[in-house]
Amino acid sequence: GDSVTQMEGPVTLSEEAFLTINCTYTATGYPSLFWYVQYPGEGLQLLLKATKADDKGSNKGFEATYRKETTSFHLEKGSVQVSDSAVYFCALSSGNTGKLIFGQGTTLQVKP
């Protein structure tokens, strides 16, 4: 079945460092891909999405490109801030139901 694999955390970075969180997927058909973020004490919220191959999603300085050839959707940010500390989830939606399949999440901790 469809699945999502994320790099294991926690990831610890200093402020202004470059961030990459790897995400690869397995799916039949042509899924949409999402990154959700969960800040401490808050609910899941959409960070960005891409709905077809070669699309780039971006928001709040974060970017991810839908790479069909490598079945990947890696999350990047050029300069992280302490306020980016959170758990990041990669997810896909395939088929006609809209059901989301999530990766296990990657915890990011940014130190000043």
Residue 21 binding another protein, by CB under 8 A: no
Residue 12 binding another protein, by CB under 8 A: no
Of 94 and 110, CB closest to another protein: 94
Residue 95 binding another protein, by CB under 8 A: yes
3-class SS at 102? strand
**Cα–Cα distance between 107 and 96 in angstroms, integer?**
30
The strand pairing partners of 75, in sequence order, are: 21, 64
Q: Segment near another protein (CB under 8 A), from 12-20, 64-72, 73-81, 103-111? A: 103-111
What are the phi and psi torsion angles at 76 (to 5°)? -135, 150
Residue 99 binding another protein, by CB under 8 A: yes
DSSP-assigned letter for residue 2: -
Q: Which amino acid is at 26?
A: T
Residue 32 binding another protein, by CB under 8 A: yes
Residue 91 binding another protein, by CB under 8 A: yes
